[in-house]
Structure 1
Amino acid sequence: WVPGGAPACPALCTCYVSPPTVSCQANNFSSVPAGLPPGARRLFLQNNVIGALRAGTFGPSTVTLWLYSNNISSIQPGTFRHLPALEELDLGDNPHLRVLAPDTFHGLHRLQALHLYRCRLASLPSGIFRGLRSLQYLYLQENGLLYLQDDLFADLANLSHLFLHGNRLRALSEGVFRGLSSLDRLLLHANRLASIHRRAFGGLARLTILYLFNNSLVALPGDPLAALPSLQFLRLNANPWACDCRARPLWAWFRRTRVSSSPVPCASPPHRRGTDLRHLRPRDFDACPEEDDDDEDEEMEDGNGGGGNGVAVMGTPGRALGRPGTLPAAPPSAFYRDGLPP
């Protein structure tokens, strides 16, 4: 509680001394309340109806800033520019936040977790994540993203968790994940993915969990999974897999790895419908021609695969006020649905 001589606590809010915390959650505030103590390290403003964020509102001591489940539709340039200590920023579940300026998060060199789930973002501007070299967790699920341009994540060398499920991505291009050398978990399920460039996962040497289920994948030409030496858990179910000659690269990859995988049920041809692709036999491919890698590249680049089109995002539920001290080794289980990994 605020001691004598300390700045007054804003009306309808609760303030704590150690660590310096201001809790203004669920008070129907339409704007950030005035008079926030400048030394506050944790600001909890979630579950209000705040519509806009303005520069100069938050003090430089802020480490944790929760603004999820509001009505935010605009963020003034410079709002987060002078927050050198900020480690966690949660803007999730703001369905009116549809556009972000390229420099919205510039200068947040200590930011470790950025939550942008369920904001109806159809696209992300080039450079939006520039300079966020401390970022470890990035939540972009359930936004309606249509595409991701190459090098969007190029500065995120320390990112370990990337959540892109529940969007409208249709393709993954060659450079979409370039720079993510520390990535451990990549969730791309519940999108509309129909093509993945054979080198889309290049450089993800530490990736252990990959979710591609509930998409529109018929085949994976060019063996893109071969670039993932650390992969342990893979989900490919709920895709219309063609178990003809196009299945051979994926089938061959399964034969040389020991990855824990979901079933991969065939959708075609009719006589193989329901068969697990992993359980096909070598003689099922006897009539198939030898593959031409160059042809596969051309197919990916000239067909559905190029252009940086996308990945999907499913959703992170809003959180109740908790104790956001140091970031956990793995994200809270509340961020996962339907059996996603803890």
Structure 2
Amino acid sequence: ACPALCTCYVSPPTVSCQANNFSSVPAGLPPGARRLFLQNNVIGALRAGTFGPSTVTLWLYSNNISSIQPGTFRHLPALEELDLGDNPHLRVLAPDTFHGLHRLQALHLYRCRLASLPSGIFRGLRSLQYLYLQENGLLYLQDDLFADLANLSHLFLHGNRLRALSEGVFRGLSSLDRLLLHAHRLAAIHRRALGGLARLTILYLFNNSLVALPGDPLAALPALQFLRLNANPWACDCRARPLWAWFRRTRVSSSAVPCASPPHRRGTDLRHLRPRDFDACPDDHDDDED
């Protein structure tokens, strides 16, 4: 039977209950359903035992979810896509919320006002390819948060409030192709923060608070093809030399990199500085650390 106010389809087995003002997941979901569409309701809580083990696709975006009972997703071995995005009351996640989702390929947690993510939250998600964490209130990311995500190709982190990237924050992301880190407050990137991202082709760092990139962190990205660094307060003094030198030896397609200081170079593109602009700089400046 199909729950009241929902529409059910036979092939593939689908239950569509979106945009019906449901305040809880409707009772009587067919146990064999593979696709469950519950988006655009006012569901406030998720409870264990609600979803059947055949579920492959579960859309819960644009609800009022504020709590997820432990074990809600534990017995969903077939789940490949879970969309919890645009749930602005979902501010805390238990460390084991997603444990056991070994087939999960896409996890959407955008616009949920998550100020932090607990250690181990992504443990065991070895099939994950797409992770959407944009437009939360994330203030920091601890080292090894993504350590198990060896198959992740796309990581969307833009529009949060990160101020720094530590050495081990992206450890384990050996398949990452796309990393979006624009629209933060990033002022510091550890010189080894991007180490190990051997397959990264696209990196967005625009609209941050970066003045310089000490220690040449971009040198660890051999596959990089496209880079955006605009809308940062770049200092085009001696601190710019490692980045300028990196641009000279790479063929990466890049946005403009306008200087913000010193005053006589304001508006100049950092990439277009000349060797003589660094004549007064000490020779060892490339190795300086913040």
TM-score, length-normalised on structure 1?
0.82
Cα distance in structure 1, aligned partners of 2:28 and 2:204: 45
Runs of at least 5 residues in structure 1 that lack an aligned partner in the other structure: 1-7, 290-342
The match for 1:30 is 23
Give the superposition deviation at 1:127.
0.1
User: SS of 2:264's equivalent?
Assistant: helix
Give the superposition deviation at 1:111.
0.1
The match for 1:164 is 157
> Per-residue displacement from partner, 1:204-230 (whole Å, max 9, x unpaired)?
000000000000000000000000000
Give the superposition deviation at 1:130.
0.1
User: SS of 1:70's equivalent?
Assistant: coil
> Per-residue displacement from partner, 1:254-306 (whole Å, max 9, x unpaired)?
000000000000000000000000000000001001xxxxxxxxxxxxxxxxx
Runs of at least 5 residues in structure 2 that lack an aligned partner in the other structure: 283-290
User: SS of 2:179's equivalent?
Assistant: strand
Higher RCO (CA 8 Å, separation ≥ 6 residues): 1
Question: RMSD in angstroms over aligned alpha carbons?
Answer: 0.2
Cα distance in structure 2, aligned partners of 1:51 and 1:241: 44
Name the % identity: 98
> Per-residue displacement from partner, 1:7-53 (whole Å, max 9, x unpaired)?
x1000000000000000000000000000000000000000000000
> Per-residue displacement from partner, 1:234-260 (whole Å, max 9, x unpaired)?
000000000000000000000000000
User: SS of 1:167's equivalent?
Assistant: coil
Give the superposition deviation at 1:152.
0.2
Aligned length: 282
Cα distance in structure 1, aligned partners of 2:22 and 2:243: 53
Give the superposition deviation at 1:150.
0.2
User: SS of 1:22's equivalent?
Assistant: strand
- Show structure 1 runs of 4+ deviating over 4 A: none
> Per-residue displacement from partner, 1:131-155 (whole Å, max 9, x unpaired)?
0000000000000100000000000
Give the superposition deviation at 1:159.
0.1
Give the superposition deviation at 1:185.
0.1
The match for 2:285 is none
Give the superposition deviation at 1:195.
0.3
